[in-house]
Amino acid sequence: MRRYSIFAVAREGLRFHQGWGRAWAAPEPKKKYEVVVVGAGGHGLATAYYLGRNFGIRNVAIIDKGWLGGGNTGRNTTVIRSNYLQDPSAAIYEKSRALYETLSQDLNYNIMFSPRGLLMLAQTEHEARGYKRTVHANALQGIETQWIEPARVKELVPIMNIAGPRYPVLGALYQPRGGTARHDAVAWGYARACSDMGMDIIQNCEVTGVRTQGGRVHGVDTSRGAIDCDKLAMVVAGNASVLADMAGFRLPIESLSLQALVSEPIKPAINVVVMANTVHGYMSQSDKGELVIGGGTDGFNNYTQRGSWNHIEETIRALIETFPIISRLKLMRQWGGIVDMTGDRSPILSTTPVEGIFVNCGWGTGGFKSIPGSGWAMAELVAKGTPGPLAAEFGLNRFREGRFIDESVAAGVAH
């Protein structure tokens, strides 16, 4: 596959861009693969990519019931951070953040990674104490974070009202190398690299059944025919429980809609990511000038990918208290994604009761930021059959043994 470069762009410009080939191939499914990855979102594509790059496993199919990157990967708010409290969480998210730093070069595809910095506002005394604790924990984990005072917060975000009225800003947990990336570009970059390694990306291929025999996986039935495999990786976010049911086991997750919205484009007004967990809203500004806004999950289980008036009212009302200037903006578009939540708000990277089936799910609202690290750890799990250091604590057995990694309590928010 052709490398992208300034010289290639210049050459194609002279030819009216008639010479570009497909970014990735669109093959028909083969009868059998060494590994079938179900889910052509960021996590599934990253899993396949690192299987090929790190372990030389390239007889791989990545199948999806819809289009590539059409699920949560294309429906998130692109936040990247690793300032978690619990050691297992901090390790995998920091691995992911570090991989994001060089991902454009690794994939030869501009993912538009922007380490613009990330603020988590402390708007209560309890939050301030918790974030100071996180700074100390991050120092022990080798993650660069800082506690900054209100004056520094105001300097970084001039449009913020730090004086209240109900929730004054008492300081913030600041990660200078946190930021954002272009969500679609992450999926497209991984897809292009996987296709270049000879892997098959098969879209519009819905799994209708999982075939097992003697406690071991043999393949999947799909809307495009039966596909045999030696190993099956389930990486389908909010639909993980549906797929697991086909294979004959249950997962301790629930599926909820997480909504987001963007404003009309405006001139540059905020050049960091701001999370306000007390009022439960977060915001950044895209390269096109839109304010990208998100909040909490819906309060009930559902599989909808549409927005609701309730979410607009709650999230925008909360953010206007801290950013009064945004009250005059118009809503441009709104959407939802289906997230999978575990009881401890930490992911599952695990073997399953069926030999040869591996599951990657439970990322909740933290899915996009974890894509490279998740793929790295999942690839090792699938290739070796046992989890490596990054995935070791995230097995299904932790729920039976009571070894929870409770990030909802530790971080105060699951984003």
- Residue holding tokens 């406690």? 215
Residue 371 has a CB neighbour count (10 Å cut-off) of: 29
Nearest-angstrom CA–CA distance, 52 and 57: 5
Q: Are 204 and 65 in contact (CB under 8 A)?
A: yes
Q: Tens digits of per-residue pLDDT, 3-62?
A: 899 999 999 899 988 888 888 999 999 999 999 999 999 999 999 999 999 999 999 999
Nearest-angstrom CA–CA distance, 228 and 30: 9
CATH of domain 32-82+183-253+344-411: 3.50.50.60
| Helix or strand holding residue 345 (H, E) | none
Give the pTM.
0.95
Q: Tens digits of per-residue pLDDT, 112-153?
A: 999 999 999 999 999 999 999 999 999 999 999 999 999 999
Q: Sign of torsion, CA 4 7 11 12?
A: positive
Q: Tens digits of per-residue pLDDT, 375-392?
A: 999 999 999 999 999 999
pLDDT confidence of residue 409: 56
Residue of 236, 234, 211, 233 whose CA lies nearest to 221? 211
* Strand pairing category for 118-122 and 171-175: antiparallel
DSSP H helices, 102-257, are 103-107, 125-141, 150-156, 183-196, 240-247
Q: Tens digits of per-residue pLDDT, 203-213?
A: 999 999 999 99
pLDDT confidence of residue 414: 44
- Residue holding tokens 């999806």? 64
User: One-letter amino acid identity for 149?
Assistant: E
Is residue 373 over pLDDT 60? yes
Nearest-angstrom CA–CA distance, 120 and 131: 8
Average pLDDT for residues 99-123, to the nearest whole number? 96
Is residue 335 over pLDDT 70? yes
Binning pLDDT at 50, 70 and 90, where does residue 302 land?
confident
Binning pLDDT at 50, 70 and 90, where does residue 286 land?
very high
For residue 276, which phi and psi values (nearest 5 degrees)? -115, 90
Residue 149 has a CB neighbour count (10 Å cut-off) of: 12
Is residue 222 over pLDDT 90? yes
- Residue holding tokens 């999942």? 378
Binning pLDDT at 50, 70 and 90, where does residue 2 land?
confident
DSSP secondary structure letter of residue 301: E
Nearest-angstrom CA–CA distance, 101 and 177: 9
SS3 297: strand
| Per-position b or e across 260-298, b if 16+ CB within 10 A of its CB | bbbbeeeeeebebbbbbbbbbbbbbbbeeebbbbbbbbb
